[in-house]
Chains A and B, each alone.
Chain A
Amino acid sequence: MGKLKVIKPGILLSIQDTGRNGYAFYASPISGVMDGQAAQMAQLILSNDLDWPIIECTSIAPQLEFIDDAIIALTGANARWSIDNNLVPLNKRVKVSSGDVLKGGPMIDGLRSYIGIQGKIKAQNHLGSTATYLPAKWGGINGQYLRKNDIVEWVSDTKAFDAFTEIEIQNWNKQFKLNIFKGPEYDWLSDSSKLLLTQNKYLITNATNRMGSKLKSDTPLEAFKTELDKSAPTFPGTIQLLPNGQLILLLQDGQTTGGYPRIAYMTEEETWRFNQMKIGTRINFQMHP
């Protein structure tokens, strides 16, 4: 059993896991980590189960005081993590001692960092997942983002201490070109807008959260119809055309139904890449043939 205390939470510090799978039927979003690759890498480095809880940090790193010894792994964006002014490397097992304060700054090359702890982090389970989902107050600690003075506890998994396996560190593809596929209402776009969809540069606006991200281009798209007659299914990766000709990309906590045309979509893996791109980044799309 180990504990740490949140000294400063940074931004949107939360407990997540691989998501609340199988409940979209009841309008429960899948939720979970925004960058599945980085989170998985931390769990692999620590020999944890892949669906165990992990701490997700967004944009600005938190400050955490370890009350007990721990073995941790930091993955995802580089936040210049340090303990006692000594830099802590990414993508490695790191031994942390009782009393150590782990801190970082603004993330340099991405938007999400993960703090994995060897063992199983204790968090509330709703529908088979500990992923923090604010609208329902599910998962995490009372379904909330972590706050100053919150205590995160974990149960050490002693057998894992011996099982050290070297894992291959995968760097994520940081290109700002995202692969998309034609969505159910792609053909609603005018011919010129079909071309614009892949020619436009899209700004990731500050209207971005765990539910979705509004994307803005200089040239809005045109469709012969701006709304569906009846609500249709949506999922993380769905790209909807808004009535003003701009786009919204639905993300991990996004709604399961919606009324705007779904002109394109990207895979879950591609949303993980997107979720590492900072607000203000200009991206473009490449249509899968």
Chain B
Amino acid sequence: MTSGLQLLRGVARRLAGAVLLLWAAATLTFVGLRALPGSVESVVLGVHLNDPGLAEQVRSSLGLDRPFLVQYGDYLLGLLRGDFGRSYVLNADVTDVVGAQLLPTLGLAAASVVLAGALAWLIAVLSAGAGPGTERVLHVLELLAICLPTFWVGSLLQLGLSFHLQWFPSVGADGFSSLVLPMITLALPIAGLLSQYMREEIALTLRQPWVLTVRSRGASGFRLRSVHLMPHVAISTLTVAGNTLGLLIGGAVIVESVFGRPGLGRVALDAVTDSDAPVTVAVVLIITTAYVLITTAIDLAALIIDPRLRQEAHG
């Protein structure tokens, strides 16, 4: 079989896998939302739960009195159109409630990833080939960055930089200055993880024969590390991006809470408190979809870059 055909099959396989996964996730949440009896009426009606006729009215207005399969089909079609149904509590469409929170979270996540990537790259390039002393110190620092609870770091930064030095606002979300502390808080563990991985990769790559060739052409150490090594390292670092994304998602929810920022995490947690399950489910599905899409895209990129993976796709 030609390499191009293999590539095509590999891409198709992974795309089909992603679609299957998203369908399964949607089905799971549907079952969760519908299979818990009685909860919807009691959330919507509160103390009026036992008033005659109201429960039926709620069920019919939310479409819960229709056959199960019709509801399921409706739910899936709705999701495809980006329609997450009605909120139980807020008298609004879930899509409107959640949509407004998308941008703040996206901004925080993107800023943190960029900062973490830059930090890790800098550390990795500057420290590659350094002595065992530097190695050990960096190792401990990275471990610390990963072990430190984001909610604690956030509080400490507030303590030092907001209350003590008054450099940045402690809570809120207007302008760049209020983004600085949450961004640092969220970026630290990701930077630790990336840097740990990058340095390991660099150490491995430095032992490759072609490195000697580049050296013998008279390339400086810094040039070797930043120009020749980085593409190799960057590609293999991409493949651990899944771990990083998990950290990012978990971190964002908590960091928003520490700094009182609006966002998906905030709205999901409020919805848990209010028993407004459709809103929480919508947030989870949005993030899961993003997660699946990104990991699939990374898989595909690796497949296109590295021909060796195409053969394995069959095995």
Q: Do A and B bind each other?
A: no
